Amino acid sequence: MYIANMGFSKKEISIAVTLYTLSGLIGQIIIGYIVDKYKHIKSVISISLSMGFLSAAGVLFAKEIWQIYLMLIIWGLFISSTCALTDTWCIYTLKAEDEQRNFGRVRGFGSIGYGFSGAFLGILLQSFGWKIYCWYIIIGIMLTLLIIFFMKDESKLDFTSDSSSISFKEGINQIFKIKPLIAIITIMFMYNFVLRGIYNYLAILVSDFGGGVASLGLTYCFDASPEIVTFFLSARLLRKYKSKSIIFIAFLLQIVRLTVILIFNNSLSVILMSVLSGFAFGLAASSYKTYIYELAPDKYKASCMSISETIIGLSGIISAPIFGFMFTELGTKFTILFGLIIDILLAFIMLANNIMSKRSTISQFH
């Protein structure tokens, strides 16, 4: 919405989204390997976040689309790429106290900040305009770095191997030998394909249905708020249900969400149904990330988390131009229908897989 306000086309926005997503995925792999190699999550995240000042300051002076592209690439490489590392750092810290199942509860505080920021920024933009946007980002980076400064790097407790024994090639080979890991990555890849395809163009979706900046801010707020509930309940849910069952529920919630939006075709339906998207995100993220961490080889925890997130994130690269084309050329309704059909097919596949797994367990018991 920011660069659309500068006069850039939907096609240029689509390219920007693709470049941003691609740079973030490349950065994840590189930074994850650096953490496994040198054993300092705190230092790596601090250096990466500091690069955000360059990106935000660059946007202040950017006038051409290529300049915007460059700033988004820098942001993706150094800021977006730290998302998987913050999750890994959190799980490392919890594992030191044998509390890794409570990852969702801790992650829920991130949703509180995300939801508040969406609503607050939407109100500020509505009141003062886009001139405050970059300053808002700069202040956010400064506060984050200040908090990190007072944190301990508990990840060191979980690193026991010599850095010289860390090999990127060996890590890749070990990771791809684990079949359950490949299965969960594939499932989340397809889930994320639809989710990111629509989410990346949420501003366009809201605008096409008659909403403005305030409506978009409320959508982000309604999206994030339910995450808090599911993240805080995740520890209890993971004790009772398998990760794949929880992810299946997330698919069902997304199906209901897209169906309602398709039927009513207005910004209010997008805002209200974002509640279901928030519930779905909390359920999926709290289950698959801890599951991947447990399956990961001991020496390559950070690399495995980063590589897994990168592969799942590749769906965002694939979906960005596809959904961008559909929103631009085929219309909003067709795009929503396309995502809905994919989610329905995947839900049936997961349901069939869960039924077969239960039958196999029963037959082995007898």
Q: What digits encode the pLDDT tens for the residues 40-86?
A: 788 888 888 888 888 888 888 887 888 889 998 998 888 887 887 88
Alpha-carbon distances of 327 from 13, 193, 323, rounded to whole Å: 12, 15, 6
CA–CA separation, 251 vs 354, rounded Å?
14
DSSP for 133-170?
A: HHHHHHHHHHHHHHHHHTS--GGGGG--S-GGG--HHH
Whether 159 maps to a domain, the answer reads no
Residue range(s) defining the domain that contains residue 221:
2-150+168-358
Q: Output the CA torsion 272→274→279→282 (10° steps).
A: -150
Whether 366 maps to a domain, the answer reads no
Whether 81 maps to a domain, the answer reads yes
Q: For residue 2, which amino acid is it?
A: Y
Q: For residue 84, which amino acid is it?
A: A
What pLDDT shows up at residue 160? Answer: 47
Whether 160 maps to a domain, the answer reads no
* Residues in the chain where the model's pLDDT stays below 70: 100, 153-168, 171, 357-366
For residues 297-316, one letter each, b for 16 or more C-beta atoms within 10 angstroms of the residue's C-beta and e for the rest, the string is bebbbbbbbbbbbbbbbbbb
What pLDDT shows up at residue 157? Answer: 42
Whether 156 maps to a domain, the answer reads no
What pLDDT shows up at residue 145? Answer: 92
Could you give phi then psi for residue 39, rounded to 5 degrees? 65, 30
What pLDDT shows up at residue 342? Answer: 92
Q: How many CB atoms lie within 10 A of CB 161?
A: 12
* CA atoms in the 13 A half-sphere facing the CB of 230: 24
Q: What digits encode the pLDDT tens for the residues 172-203?
A: 777 778 887 888 888 889 889 998 888 878 88
CA–CA separation, 204 vs 332, rounded Å?
9
Indicate the DSSP class of residue 331. Answer: -
Evaluated on CA atoms 12, 16, 22, 23, the torsion sign reads positive
Please enumerate in sequence order all residues whose Cβ is within 8 A of that of 334, keeping only pairs 6 or more positions apart, or say none.
Answer: 326
CA–CA separation, 183 vs 349, rounded Å?
13
Domains of the chain: total: 1
Indicate the DSSP class of residue 64. Answer: S
Whether 102 maps to a domain, the answer reads yes
Please enumerate in sequence order all residues whose Cβ is within 8 A of that of 224, keeping only pairs 6 or more positions apart, or say none.
Answer: 111, 112, 114, 115, 118, 278
Whether 155 maps to a domain, the answer reads no
Q: What CATH number should be reported for the domain holding residue 17? A: 1.20.1250.20
Whether 22 maps to a domain, the answer reads yes
| pTM given for the model | 0.67
